[in-house]
Amino acid sequence: MKKVILTLIISLGVTGVAFAKGDAAAGKSKATTCAACHGATGVSPAPNWPNLAGQGERYLIKQITEIKDGDRSVPEMMPFVSALTKQDIEDLAAFYASQPAPQGATDAKYVSVGEALYRGGDAKKGIPACSSCHSPTGKGNFLAGFPSLAGQKSDYTAKQLRDLREGDRTNDGDTKIMRTIAEKMSNKEIEAVSHYISGLR
C-alpha cells in the first residue's frame, strides 16, 4: 500500500510540467466530426462512449495522441484521429476542456461500496483511495494529467478499469499506476466505484 502511494506521489511530481495550449474557438470547429459519438459539447449521448466536456487539456492531449500513435487501442477512433496534427489535438483539447462538465447521478445501491473505495480505498487489498489522485470531488488533477471522473459514464469507466486489469489498456505509464490498482479490484468493486463516480459533481 505504501509503495503504491509513494508511486502516486512521485508520478504527481514528475508529470506537473508545462504543456501547450490550444485554441478553443478553433477546436469547436474541428470538433464537429466528434459530435456524433461525444456530443456537440463533449457530453456523449451513448453510455459506452466517454464524456469529454470539462476534462483536463493535458489528459485529453495525451489520450488523443496515444490513440493516434497506437499506444492506446481504440480502433473505432482511428479514422477520426489519424490525420490530426499536433495543433488540431491541442485545439480539440482546449475546446472540450472549456465546456461545462456533465452532471451525473448515482444509483443508491452502489453508494456504500463505491464511496468507501473512492474515498478510503482498501488497505487490506493494497488499493489506495481514488480521491488521492482524482480529488474528493472527482475533478482530477489537471496539472498532473490525472483525469476528471465526475459525471463520467459508468459503463465507460467500468470498461476502462476492466481493460486495465486484464492488460488490454496499458497507456498508464511505466509506473503502471492504474494497472496495479485495477488488478486488485473485483467486478463488484469496479461496478460500484464506476457508478459512484458517475454521480460526483
Asked if residue 37 belongs to a known ligand binding site, the reply is yes
* Residue that is written with C-alpha cell 469496479 in the block: 190
Backbone angles phi, psi at 15, to 5 degrees: -95, -10
**130 among the known binding-site residues?**
yes
**Gyration radius (Cα) of the chain, Å:** 16
Q: How many CA atoms lie within 13 A of 198 on its CB side?
A: 24
* CB 119 within 8 Å of CB 192: no
Q: Is 34 annotated as a binding residue?
A: yes
Classify the C-alpha dihedral 94-68-73-144 as positive or negative.
negative
The annotation status of 178 as a binding-site residue, yes or no, is yes
- What is the rounded distance in angstroms from the CA atom of residue 195 to the CA atom of residue 138? 12
Find out whether 134 is annotated in a ligand binding site. Answer: yes
Helical segments of the chain, H only: 2-15, 24-30, 35-38, 57-69, 78-81, 86-98, 111-120, 131-134, 154-166, 177-182, 187-198
Which residues are documented as binding site? Answer: 34, 37-38, 77, 130, 133-134, 178
Known binding-site residues for heme c equal: 34, 37-38, 77, 130, 133-134, 178
